């Protein structure tokens, strides 16, 4: 079954924000859903480990995937939206604007595909920073998050032009150039690191094959700095990075693989840092991040359990006292494809 929803106005009564990726292929009707509950030990899902032919081209990740619980809870996305917005690499905006302004057929407005949109924070951040009419196509597998993304999306571009939104329920990143026909830009946040090498190469091939620019933000870089330091920091970080690479996902290697994949297909690629810088004002986010970070490390290396429990208690106490500073390193990638089919 396939369905899409186009939204041109409306503001939600509730608030909360961004991104869940992946789900099963195909498009399904967008519907309301119940809010997601926090997981065991107070860890919000997403902050740590959690468990057809003839249709219009859609976006797919893994064919035949089983229906799964959404990867991220809206509570976690709400906590991180401010940090995400503050971290995204502002220096990538000028080259992006220049490329989009020079697109052939720009008079009809921009068409933006947001992969794994969650509750739509990427659109809320980016649409008001771009000129001209825009139509955003929001892809996610979670109908609750898609509903929020639709009603909470930006309505006005930087120059006052209209922004409209369409939602499609389904998987992300199993793209073909045909699925991007007419697209100006592909965006995503916190997506590359949960993909495999094959999936990233498929994404790069689709974007470059369609001549479509890609802005892929907030991919984990595998580096964390905590102040004051602790003897267990490095061991926890190593176990967490190994957890990120489980089941073939690339984790902190994803940006390097994506750079290679886009460059090999003729795109000009630029990568800028986009770190979270978390201090006393972000204590709620830091607490949830710590629980998830340590929880993933222990899931990967159960032998860490006792030491990690004491470590987490100490770190949470420092966080509550306003004494902990954390830098979580991410990377943003902008890929500008070369000419397609001899076009200039």
pLDDT at 64 > cutoff 50: no
Only one residue has tokens 């003897």, namely 231
What's the confidence (pLDDT) of residue 39? Answer: 42
Average pLDDT over residues 90-111: 86
Spell out the SS3 assignment of the chain: CCCEEEECCCCCCCCCCCCCCCCCCCCCCCCCCCCCCCCHHHCCECCECCCCCCCCCCCECCCCCCCCCCCCCHHHHHHHHHHHHHHCCHHHHHHHHHHHHCCCCHHHCEEEEEECCCCCHHHHHHHHHCCCCEEEEEEECCHHHHHHHHHCCCCECCCCCEEEEEEEECCCCECCHHHHCCCCEEEEECCHHHCCHHHHHHHHHHHHHCCCEEEEEEEEEEEEEEECCCCCHHHHHHHHHHHHCHHHCCHHHHHHHHHHHHHHCCCEEEEEECCEEECHHHHHHHHHHHHHHHHHHHHHCHHHHHHHHHHHHHHHHHHHCCCCEEEEEEEEEEEECCCCCCCC
Residue 17 or residue 191, greater confidence: 191
Global confidence as pTM:
0.80
What's the confidence (pLDDT) of residue 104? Answer: 60
pLDDT at 20 > cutoff 80: no
pLDDT at 28 > cutoff 50: no
pLDDT digits (tens, 9 = 90+) for 104-148: 656 678 999 999 888 899 999 999 999 999 999 998 888 888 888
What's the confidence (pLDDT) of residue 298? Answer: 95
């Amino acid at each position: 079954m396939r369905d899409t929803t186009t939204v041109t106005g409306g503001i939600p009564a509730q608030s909360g924000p961004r991104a869940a990726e992946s789900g099963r292929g195909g498009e399904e009707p967008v519907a309301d859903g119940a809010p997601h509950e926090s997981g065991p030990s107070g860890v919000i899902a997403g902050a740590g480990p959690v468990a057809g032919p003839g249709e219009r081209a859609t976006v797919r990740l893994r064919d035949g995937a089983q229906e799964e619980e959404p990867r991220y809870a809206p509570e976690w996305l709400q906590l991180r939206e401010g940090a995400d917005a503050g971290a995204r690499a502002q220096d990538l905006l000028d080259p992006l604007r220049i490329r989009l302004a020079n697109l052939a057929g720009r008079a009809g407005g921009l068409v933006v595909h947001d992969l794994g949109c969650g509750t739509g924070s990427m659109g809320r951040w980016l649409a008001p920073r771009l000129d001209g009419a825009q139509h955003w196509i929001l892809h996610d597998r979670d109908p609750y998050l898609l509903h929020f993304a639709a009603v909470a999306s930006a309505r006005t571009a930087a120059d006052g032009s209209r922004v409209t939104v369409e939602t499609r329920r389904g998987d992300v990143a199993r793209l073909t150039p045909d699925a991007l026909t007419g697209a100006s830009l592909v965006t995503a946040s916190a997506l590359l690191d949960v993909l495999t090498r094959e999936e990233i190469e498929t994404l790069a091939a689709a974007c470059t094959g369609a001549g479509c620019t890609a802005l892929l933000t907030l991919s984990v870089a595998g580096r964390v700095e905590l102040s004051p330091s602790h003897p267990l920091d490095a061991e926890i970080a190593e176990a967490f990075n190994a957890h990120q690479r489980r089941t073939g996902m690339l984790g902190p290697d994803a940006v390097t693989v994506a750079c290679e994949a886009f460059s090999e297909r003729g795109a000009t690629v630029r990568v800028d840092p986009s770190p979270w810088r978390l201090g006393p004002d972000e204590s709620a986010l830091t607490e949830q991040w710590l629980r998830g970070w340590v929880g993933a490390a222990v899931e990967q290396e159960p032998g860490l359990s006792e030491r990690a429990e004491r470590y987490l208690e100490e770190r949470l106490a420092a966080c509550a006292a306003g004494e902990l500073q954390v830098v979580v390193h991410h990377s943003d990638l902008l890929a500008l494809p070369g000419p397609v089919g001899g076009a200039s």
